Amino acid sequence: MNTSMKTLQALGQSIWIDNISREMLMKKQLQHYIDDYAVTGLTSNPTIFEHAIGRGSFYDDAIKNAARHGEPVEDLFFTLALQDLTAAADLFRPIHDETEGIDGWVSLEVSPLLVDDSAKTVAAAAWLHAAGDRENLYIKIPGTVAGAKAIEESIFAGVPINVTLLFSREQYLASAEAYMRAIERRIEAGRDPRVSSVASLFVSRWDVAVKDQVPLDLRNRLGIAIAQQTYKAYRELLSSARWRKLERAGARPQRLLWASTGTKDESASDVLYIEALAAPDTINTIPDKTLKAFAEHGTVGAAMALGGGDCESVIARFERAGVDCTRLAERLQRDGAAAFSDSWRKLLASIEAKMPHREASP
């Protein structure tokens, strides 16, 4: 195992791969990441599957075979995705068992077209988790206003949830509130409080959004400052009387996960966000390219400060430079949801195009 990966693991941070494809499974690349890179989990999203299915041939035979049975395109996608993710979940199951359910997870997202419909999201999450039939399968739900309702109801129903598309401390706290309410309701109902969840904060998209609006000395600093601010809130929540009460009842923390951690600025370090986000009791989900770069030349310094370090002063500098962080967080979440919806439509069109005797939808 790589030394830098060992250091992160010893620090208390889990490393997950932000990718899945049938090619990774067939060529045993995922097993290689587990064995040699200390990868202990995996995330997926519509864009990842759109690239995997639309730009390769590894799914073509499965699509043709399923098409003969007249399966709707969206149902066919979930059949393909669950085949991949259940295979991945089985690879991670020993880790899941060894860590008593803390680690070893894979994630599948509900249709992003349901982003504003809580009831349909709850139904989709329940169906997907049952269809996957794996203890270590998270269902991803966006942390929007509608999503918060779906998160609470899904957790209350016992479905493990990965809250996605979070961009700020406030959005994170809303997802944590939904999680805790659901656990409190389960305890009141006499149910097992151990329903797992993670909250995924997207980091690098902040820096992409403001790169042309701020001085050079502020480039690539906002995403990390927002992460530090959110980490402080996370640690404060875990120390709160409310959480301690739930913990005594057997509940487990909703772990904070760093998402979107590949460097987008070619002039910056290709391991910028991995080194900066080394924090105990968190997860970093990393693209393949960034994972390999960190294994080659990444270093781990001091762990992220529990109190957020200088995040407030850094964020204040961005505000003085004209960046309204509250409004930008809302915009980034809307844009992220729209991007996933666009990838979803492209994904379904690419599947349809591979079906025999069918043409892709416009």
Catalytically active residues, by annotation = 140
194: left (phi over 0), alpha (psi -120 to 50) or beta: beta
What is the distance between the alpha carbons of residues 184 and 195, in angstroms, rounded to a whole number? 11
* Residue 75 burial (10 A CB sphere; 0-12, 13-18, 19+): exposed
Tell me the residue length of the chain. Answer: 362
In angstroms, rounded to a whole number, what is the distance separating the alpha carbons of residues 297 and 299?
7
For residues 141 and 154, what is the distance between their CA atoms, to the nearest angstrom?
10
Cβ neighbours of residue 165 closer than 8 Å, sequence gap 6 or more: 142, 143, 144, 147, 200, 202, 333, 336, 337, 340
Assigned token pair, 359: 């043409």
* Cβ–Cβ under 8 Å, residues 88 and 20: yes
* Backbone Cα Rg of the chain: 20
Structure tokens at 146: 């509608």
Contact present, 141 and 125 (Cβ < 8 Å): yes
Q: What is the Cα–Cα distance from 7 to 13, expressed in whole angstroms?
A: 9
CA distance 113 to 109: 11
Report helix angle 73-98 to 29-37, nearest 10: 30
How far is Cα 221 from Cα 240, in angstroms, rounded to an integer?
Answer: 29
